[in-house]
Amino acid sequence: QVQLVQSGAEVKKPGASVKVSCKASGYTFTDYYMHWVRQAPGQGLEWMGRINPNSGATTYAQKFQGRVTMTRDTSISTAYMELSRLRSDDTAVYYCAREVRGVGLDHWGQGTLVTVSS
Amino acid sequence: DIVMTQSPDSLAVSLGERATINCKSSQSVLYSSSKKNYLAWYQQNPGQPPKLLIYWASTRESGVPDRFSGSGSGTDFTLTISSLQAEDVAVYYCQQYYSTPRTFGQGTKVEIK
């Protein structure tokens, strides 16, 4: 069965960087785009960007351009999202989610809480 | 960017009654070549990731109860829960996947009256 397993919670200081991993199993990793979505406490869902695991091509939300980097390691079916120059308002749960082309985000990781605090 | 606007922000419905959530996009999400609306609905329970309920505006994901239905086309969409059950208490989001950036509605919280 399809599974996306994310890395554990992180606590970071303002100005630092965080890298979240998302290990995929149960399907061919390179066949589906991987998206990253975040959710601040008590807030809605915010799309950050996506990566084509086959080519490595990325598309980022303008809000995060210059601060976010999405990569992948096809040898271990893992996608990564790195966010730099962290601020307190980056405190959120970060999700990876697989997109079925033309259908939507059909499988999600369990989420990774990133807390930014001095 | 396509802006997604849901209404209402919250609603309280009695068990067994109908719940209706609306979603409006700032531009059409109807993909002309396939004649499909690239609009999805998700359900999110507290502490859980979102779950895909409906795609193409009206197609239920496998395993989703048939009390959930979606309708609409172009820019106006509706999610209906025909007979609210206790386990349906959640926040519901619409999302367009017609273009990037992908965008979500602000969410609608459904509670029991």
Residue ranges for chain B with pLDDT beneath 70: none
Strand A112-116 and strand A10-12: pairing?
Answer: parallel
| Beta carbons of B43 and B54 less than 8 angstroms apart | no
Write out pLDDT tens, residues A8-66.
999 999 999 999 999 999 999 999 999 999 999 999 999 999 999 999 999 999 999 99
Per 3-state DSSP, what percentage of chain A is helix, strand, and coil (rounded to 5)?
A: 10, 55, 35
Residue B36 to residue A102, Cβ atoms within 8 A? yes
Residues of B in contact with A50 (CB under 8 A): 100, 102
pLDDT for the residue A102: 87
Residue A89 phi/psi, 5° resolution?
A: -80, 5
- Asked if A86 and A92 count as a contact pair (C-beta separation under 8 A), the reply is no
DSSP string computed for chain B: ---EEEE-SEEEE-TTS-EEEEEEESS--EETTTTEE-EEEEEE-TTS--EEEEETTTEEPTT--TTEEEEEETTEEEEEESS--GGG-EEEEEEE-SSSSPEE---EEEEE-
Where is pLDDT greater, at A101 or B59? Answer: B59
- Contact yes or no for B77/B96 (Cβ under 8 A): no
* Residue B50: closest CA among B87, B15, B92: B92
Nearest-Cα distance to chain A for B104, in Å, is 7
First to last CA, chain A: 40
Pick the residue of B102, B108, B109 with the most A CBs within 10 A to test the interface with A by mutation.
B102
Instruction: Provide CB contacts within 8 A for A112, sequence distance 6+.
Output: A6, A7, A8, A9, A10, A20, A93, A94, A95
Q: What is the pLDDT of residue B61?
A: 97
Q: What are the structure tokens assigned to B84, written together?
A: 């609210």
| Among A35, A95, A111, beta carbon nearest to B102 | A35
**Strands B108-112 and B90-96, bridge-based pairing:** antiparallel
B52, B101, B105 ranked by CB distance to A106: nearest: B52
Dig out the tokens for B58 from the structure: 């009206």
> What residues contact residue A38 under an 8 Å CB cut-off, 6+ apart?
A45, A46, A48, A92, A93, A94, A95
Tokens (6 digits) for B49:
């990731």
Reduced to 3 states (helix: H, G, I; strand: E, B; else coil), residue A31 is: helix
